[in-house]
Structure 1
Amino acid sequence: MNATKEFLIPFIGLKLGKHQFEYQINKEFFENFDYDEYDDVNIKVNVVLEKKATMLELAFKHKGTINVPCDQTGESFDLPIKGKINVVVQFGDAYNDDNEELLILPHGEHQVDVSQYIYEMIVLSVPSKRIHPGVKDGSLQSETLDKLNELRHKEEPEQTEEENTDPRWDKLKQLLTDKKK
């Protein structure tokens, strides 16, 4: 990623306590990660950095919309998303981000890059199955939906339970009903 300057938070000059940072995320942000699944992005990210004597705590929240194609119809729509994550930043001998909730920065580091956490938080908050709201409420009219409905009606009609029983079981059921009488 080449445009990380705005996502670098210099914590060395900050006083102990909470500090708030806001970011407006658009499609360009994801292009920097070579991720092009979204047609348009409009997400507001709020980062609260709490500086303590020996560590930092980062609380990320996001809310907004992404424009994606529907998995059933292919129609693009704005999908509302929101989410949050927390990350603890500690200091050690070497950089280590193996744990998703713990980041270890080398001693002497004076800033933290939050872009990767913002990227992962947003991507993970998008549902794996994206269905247009018009499909759910029946208001969307498209050729794809018409074709799906047409094919659905051509399937074999469901057989009733009585037609689909084994005659041997019928004899056993008869024994049970005779016993109750």
Structure 2
Amino acid sequence: MNYLKQYRIPFSGLAAGNHDFEFEIGDKFFDCYEHSLVKKGNLNAQVSLQKQETMLIVTFHIQGTIQLTCDVCLNDFDAPTDFEERVIVKFVQEEWADDSEDDDVIVLKKTDYELDIATLLYDYINVRVPYYTKCSEQGLNITCDPEMLARISNEEQQSSEITEETIDPRWAALMNIKNN
């Protein structure tokens, strides 16, 4: 987890106003999270921090590629991603801090001096992974592996032939009811 220390923004010494930061997100970042949907990637996060007296407004612009596995042909492919997110960080008195976080609001104590954005980056990237990945839909100029597709269709044909041959005659009568 020492690797993730570079994804902290020390805001206590910053003057009020806008401040820009840039972070590289690679394979080592995703290795720090055991159950990550994304295992490899090459991303650039541009973070804009607007410091005010009682809060921070943090805007993330993340772009690059993440490696996904096709659900059809099981090939790994690079999928481009480009999105923006925003979070508000509120400062409260120490006795009022209750560690309750909203999706868009993070509560910090007035004594805190840095913002750890590693978990935010991880969450934002993993939420962008589609439920169903397919080379031709998420990849750039990529199609599914034709050899694997041929194998799949061959297996489907063989399994349908086997099921037709081994149908119990009692079930065959029920199949006729379904077709009416």
TM-score category (smaller protein)? 0.7 to 0.9
Q: CA deviation at 1:32?
A: 1.0
Query: Where does residue 80 of structure 1 map in the other structure?
Result: 80
Structure 2 unmatched ranges of 5 or more: 162-178
Structure 1 unmatched ranges of 5 or more: 157-164, 167-181
Structure number with higher helix proportion: 2
Q: CA deviation at 1:109?
A: 1.0
1:12-56 CA distance string (max 9 Å, x none): 111111111111100110111223544521011111000012111
1:58-115 CA distance string (max 9 Å, x none): 0011111111211111011111112221111111233625212111111211111111
* Conserved? CA contact 1:134–1:140, under 8 Å: no
Q: State the alpha-carbon separation in 2 of the partners of residues 149 and 83 from structure 1.
A: 37
1:134-178 CA distance string (max 9 Å, x none): 89989544332113344667879xxxxxxxx97xxxxxxxxxxxx
Q: State the alpha-carbon separation in 2 of the partners of residues 3 and 122 from structure 1.
A: 18
Q: Structure 1 residue runs of 4+, over 3 Å off?
A: 35-39, 134-142, 148-156
Query: Where does residue 173 of structure 1 map in the other structure?
Result: none
Query: Would you say how many aligned residue pairs link Structure 1 and Structure 2?
Result: 159
Query: Where does residue 146 of structure 1 map in the other structure?
Result: 150
TM-score, length-scaled by structure 1: 0.75
Q: State the alpha-carbon separation in 2 of the partners of residues 18 and 138 from structure 1.
A: 40
* Aligned-residue identity in percent: 28
Task: From the CA coordinates, give the structure whose radius of gyration is larger.
Answer: 1
Query: Where does residue 13 of structure 1 map in the other structure?
Result: 13
Q: State the alpha-carbon separation in 2 of the partners of residues 135 and 53 from structure 1.
A: 42
Pairing partner for 1:126 from 97, 104, 129: 129
Say which SS state the counterpart of residue 4 (structure 1) adopts: helix
Counterparts in 2 of 1:123 and 1:107: CA distance versus 1, 3 Å: same
Aligned CA RMSD, in angstroms, stands at: 2.8
